[in-house]
Amino acid sequence: MNTLPKCYGIIPARYKSTRFPGKPLADILGKPMFWHVFNRARLCPELTSVVLATDDDRIFSAAEKLDVPVVMTRADHESGTDRVFEAAESIKIPQDAV
């Protein structure tokens, strides 16, 4: 019997975007954008868990207030992929996970 690896969802949320600064906190129907993304992602039955990864205190605080799991990452990442990798390491996602 084959068992599927556990899958984790990590959502990078950066405040200092050049095209849309503060996008993760943009209000959509009374909630920040990241809240909507998180709640859609956690509907995916294949995901074991979903967490937000940010380098911004405002996003971190807002996530905590809305009970969204959040990880603080360094601000010097060159890409969202780098931020996701750091978050995966910090929450100790197993190496055989997807």
Query: Structural domain of residue 25, as residue ranges?
Result: 7-89
Indicate whether 95 belongs to any domain. no
In this prediction, residues 70-95 reach a mean pLDDT of 89
Distance CA 92, CA 95 (A): 9
Tokens of 39: 């709640």
Indicate whether 1 belongs to any domain. no
Q: How many residues does the chain have?
A: 98
Within 8 A by CB and 6+ apart from 32, the residues are: 24, 25, 26, 59, 62, 66
**CA 43 centroid distance within chain:** 15
pTM: 0.88
Tokens of 52: 């937000």
Give the count of domains, the chain.
Answer: 1
Instruction: Please write the tens of the pLDDT for every residue from 7-62.
Output: 999 999 999 888 999 999 999 999 999 999 999 999 999 999 999 999 999 999 99
Return the CATH number at 63: 3.90.550.10
Residue 2: is its pLDDT beyond 60? no
Give the pLDDT confidence score for residue 44 in this predicted structure. Answer: 95
Indicate whether 96 belongs to any domain. no
Indicate whether 26 belongs to any domain. yes
Choice between 41 and 5, residue whose per-residue pLDDT is larger? 41
